[in-house]
Chains A and B, each alone.
Chain A
Amino acid sequence: MPAIFSLDPLFLGDAGNLEILAIVLAKVVIAFAGLMVSVMLMVWWERKFISDLQNRIGPNRAGPFGILQTLADGIKLFFKEDLIPDQSDRFVFKLAPYLSLVPAFLVFAVVPIGGDFSNGGDGLISVFGNDTYVQLADPHIGILFVLAMSSIAVYGIMLAGWSSGSKYPLLGSVRASAQMVSYEAALGLALVAVLLKTGSLSTTTIVREQAGEGPEFLGLFPMPDWNVIVLGVVPFIIFFIATTAELNRPPFDLVEAEQEIVGGFHTEYSSIRFALFFLAEFMNVVTMSAVMVTLFFGGPAGPDLGVLPAALWGFVWFFAKLFVFLCLFIGLRGTLPRLRYDQLMDLGWKLLIPLALGWVLFLATLDVFSDRGWTSGGERLVVTGVFLAAMLVFAGLLMVAISNGKKARERDGEEVFG
């Protein structure tokens, strides 16, 4: 058996038998169907929730509370005429939606969506006597797979804009690729903080490390051992902002800024191809929320409150956390105005990346000193203080250097930005 999947105990024993094949197939179907259904609900919920924020009703015709509205839209798009612009590069034009959709789906494969992590459980559930994780795959590269897929997703948008053979989509796709490549750096650096703590790329291990009780809140009650708390909140915030930018969600939706570039990269798309982009976009929101839940909020880990079988509580916790994130994304869309492009780039390159890098250094410093036995509160305070002082000095020097450079360029009569 290829070792690609070998982290899942399912593949340890006699791997060739039909039973295991059936379990894998069932997992694929469940993951796919579950993702599709949650995307469908997500679209509906987004429209409903944002209507609520804007004091209007929103979809209310198809099904109870308009819950089938997405389905109706999908059917409509499916039967619309499929247009391919004359000036387009036909092959790439047809290819692009799939390059967008497939990575969005694949990311979900590595997210643990259930399993019993309570009371030191290792997240395994037993299906017909076969132990397995409740996730489609647990590859060795684990969370790096998410990064790899999100870097592939850039191609979908980029090529869609280029192949349309029209100005606005091209502008949109150039914006998109610059934005996504820029924020990927911050995303990766925030991820490093998690990996530094967990020491493993495997998503299951990351979740398992977060199960159980963590530090006490002001000595009153124990908080969960979630990475968001354990690592300081900064990596999570960076990851969240970078994810929002990666997803081209408001307030970073310059890629599809209607007032400026019509529909952005998908201006020329119609019918089912447009639906694929639409689907990919919302699927990405769901999967990236799931990734954040996994990385920072303990994924399906949570206490076993009884009533339900222990294995089911994993699902409950996971989807509850996921739902909070989805609401958060919708709330952002409903409240924040869109950034200007230079503000977007400044935020990414000048704030998030240095901050993420500095935080990783900080965590690594603490880790190194704890290896040398500096573990008491006072000692850690000293380390933190010295670290901060050093960072401030370096940042100050950097500022001086930047302002010097600007001055010199101004003197030479060059245009100075920022």
Chain B
Amino acid sequence: MLNILAQPPTDAIPTPDVAWSGLMPLLILSGGAVLLLTIVSLAKDFIPRWFTPIYTVLIGIATGVAAIPLWLRVTDTPSAADPNNGPFATLDSSFGVDGFSVFFTMLFAAVVVLVALLANDYLRREDIDGPEFYVLMMLSASGGIVMASANDLIVMFLGLEILSIAVYVMAAMHSRRIESQEAGMKYFVLGALSSAVFLYGIALTYGATGSTNLVEIREFLSNVILLNDALLLAGFALLLVGFGFKVAAVPFHSWTPDVYQGAPTPVVGFMASAVKAAAFAGMLRVFWLTFGSYRTDWQPVIYGLAIATLLVGSFVAIVQTDVKRMLAYSSISHAGYLLVGVQAATNEGTATVLFYLAAYAFMVIGSFTVITLATGPGDAKTSLTDIAGLARTRPVLGIALTVFLLGQAGVPFTSGFFAKFYVISAAADANSYGLAIVAMLAAVVAAFLYLRIMMAIWLDGDEVADPTELAAAKAGIPVPWGAAVVLVVTVGFTLVFGLWPEPMIEMARDAVPALAIG
């Protein structure tokens, strides 16, 4: 019986070495998500409801902590004592660990922590509580880590899908709001289309270079002079469309306003911070790092995209009346600034993009935290009139939102100022003066948008002048502890790095991407 053993042992396939230490943050985050699913399904009745968010926060912190030794290792130069220092890759060069990817890992860990804290109260308020949100968020963030570390186009694609599919579901999660369903559906259909385009780009690039591995593609492109690079350029174009969709660059931005408006607000915070960061990470890895030798071919395209994105994001935002929609256009215009940094195609440009992404992630999560609190149960009252007078009824929330809006506008003494300043100076260093000027003009136009929101929360809403009514309105918005922590952290981040940006920009400069073989 069961004489399968009579078979001679087959030739073993030489499996690649695995550097587990490099994978640790990813394993903690994704394993943590799967473990949470298991725990909750087994012990549903014994788990207090604070467990899930706290668990998620702890997993997020653990991910960040696990990234620290990696950071120290990859940003160091190899020495006699530690010959292993410096960027490395594992799993047959398909997963790269360098300063760049570890920087993004830490950013995603921070986003997971903040959004988990924010979502805790929100989910309870909207009666859609459960572990699924946290699981999907953690898995989505691990997709982001995969994207930021991918050394292979296939891995990049899978990271993109892990990141996106979870977010599609999260966007449609508020099952009693038709707008949420609509947002999920729109995001899904357009996102699936862009994924298909991206995949086609991978296929064409593979056809032109004979490999999907970024290291090998770069080798190929720097060693071989293509007589005819039409196929490669078509591949570039399609890949750029795929990334452009995820970062909400014009003309691939049309999903953004509807999805931002319809999706649950904490999810929007996650989208604006993590999804955008991951997409830019992928874009930098593929275009700047891998296709660097062809930069004269793709730089003009990104130049054009950046100008379109800046202008559309800034100008269309002005006519909006819904706060979430306004912030959606604001996120489009921020994508424009980030593209300015990408377009520079220098190490400094990359560092400024990283700084910008970190600064923006904290500001945008902070903004959406205030909006989550201010719009109240139902998550539907997000028009400008709905939050009118917020600063007078709840000065703390009003001040916090003001800080975030000033930061996004790029006012000095906020991290947003340095973010904008650095990308524009990087563009100027790369001799893209036209783009730098457009970016500055767009900043002026965009400032109007943020001023409108500030006017609404500080000056409007006169009808609540009655003190008793004011007190009642004050009591109407409780600030739960989770959201309070998020606000403190995000305001602190925005102001501290607005006054003292050196540590952050130094870190971003250390986080140079590298394509290692391993």
A408 touches B (CB below 8 Å): yes
- Chain B stretch 1-54: residues in CB contact (< 8 A) with chain A: 1-5, 7, 9-10, 38, 41-45
A185 touches B (CB below 8 Å): no
Q: Are B10 and A199 in contact (CB under 8 A)?
A: yes
Q: Are A366 and B2 in contact (CB under 8 A)?
A: yes
Q: A197 with B4: in contact, given A404-B44, A408-B44 (CB under 8 Å)?
A: yes
Q: Are A367 and B5 in contact (CB under 8 A)?
A: yes
What is the total of A-B residue contacts with beta carbons within 8 Å? 51
Across the interface, B41 reaches (CB within 8 A) one of A197, A367, A405, namely A405
Q: Are B4 and A231 in contact (CB under 8 A)?
A: yes
Nearest A-chain residue to B130, judged by Cβ: A408
Nearest A-chain residue to B9, judged by Cβ: A371
In whole Å, how far is B500's beta carbon from the nearest beta carbon of chain A? Answer: 50
Residues of B within 8 A of A196 (CB): 4
Q: Are B44 and A367 in contact (CB under 8 A)?
A: no
Q: A401 with B7: in contact, given A230-B2, A231-B2, A363-B2 (CB under 8 Å)?
A: no
Cα distance, A228 to B9, chains bound together (Å): 22
Q: Are A370 and B5 in contact (CB under 8 A)?
A: yes
Cα distance, A197 to B7, chains bound together (Å): 7
In whole Å, how far is A130's beta carbon from the nearest beta carbon of chain B? Answer: 32
- Chain A stretch 371-385: residues in CB contact (< 8 A) with chain B: 371, 375, 380
Q: Are B45 and A397 in contact (CB under 8 A)?
A: no
Q: Are A400 and B4 in contact (CB under 8 A)?
A: no
- Chain A stretch 123-171: residues in CB contact (< 8 A) with chain B: none
Nearest B-chain residue to A197, judged by Cβ: B4
Nearest B-chain residue to A214, judged by Cβ: B3
Cα distance, A196 to B41, chains bound together (Å): 33
Cα distance, A194 to B323, chains bound together (Å): 61
Q: How many residues of A contact B (CB 8 A)?
A: 24
Residues of B within 8 A of A363 (CB): 2, 4
Q: A375 with B5: in contact, given A404-B44, A405-B41 (CB under 8 Å)?
A: yes
Cα distance, A404 to B45, chains bound together (Å): 8
Cα distance, A225 to B10, chains bound together (Å): 20
- Chain A stretch 216-263: residues in CB contact (< 8 A) with chain B: 225, 229-232
Cα distance, A152 to B291, chains bound together (Å): 44
Residues of A within 8 A of B5 (CB): 366-367, 370, 375, 380
In whole Å, how far is B351's beta carbon from the nearest beta carbon of chain A? Answer: 47
Cα distance, A331 to B474, chains bound together (Å): 79
Cα distance, A199 to B9, chains bound together (Å): 11
Residues of B within 8 A of A215 (CB): 1, 3
Q: Which of B3, B42, B44 has the most CB of A within 10 A?
A: B3
Residues of B within 8 A of A199 (CB): 7, 10
Nearest A-chain residue to B3, judged by Cβ: A230
Q: Are A404 and B4 in contact (CB under 8 A)?
A: no
Q: Are B42 and A401 in contact (CB under 8 A)?
A: yes
Cα distance, A367 to B42, chains bound together (Å): 32
Nearest A-chain residue to B12, judged by Cβ: A371
A90 touches B (CB below 8 Å): no
- Chain A stretch 353-369: residues in CB contact (< 8 A) with chain B: 363, 366-367
Q: Are B7 and A366 in contact (CB under 8 A)?
A: no
Q: A407 with B2: in contact, given A199-B10, A371-B9 (CB under 8 Å)?
A: no
Q: Are A404 and B42 in contact (CB under 8 A)?
A: yes
Cα distance, A2 to B173, chains bound together (Å): 52
Residues of B within 8 A of A408 (CB): 44
Residues of A within 8 A of B7 (CB): 197, 199, 367, 370
Cα distance, A351 to B357, chains bound together (Å): 50
Residues of A within 8 A of B42 (CB): 397, 400-401, 404
Residues of B within 8 A of A232 (CB): 1-2
Cα distance, A15 to B9, chains bound together (Å): 36
Q: Which A residues lie at the B interface, using CB under 8 A?
A: 196-197, 199, 214-215, 225, 229-232, 363, 366-367, 370-371, 375, 380, 397, 400-401, 404-405, 407-408
Give 19 pairs: A residue, B residue, CB < 8 Å, sorted on A.
A197-B7, A199-B10, A215-B3, A225-B3, A230-B1, A230-B3, A230-B4, A231-B2, A231-B4, A363-B4, A370-B7, A375-B5, A380-B2, A400-B42, A404-B41, A404-B43, A405-B41, A407-B44, A407-B45
9 further A-B contacts with Cβ under 8 Å, apart from A231-B4, A232-B1, A401-B42, are A230-B1, A363-B4, A367-B4, A367-B7, A370-B7, A371-B9, A397-B38, A404-B44, A407-B44
The 4 closest A-B pairs by CB, nearest first: A370-B5, A401-B41, A371-B9, A404-B44
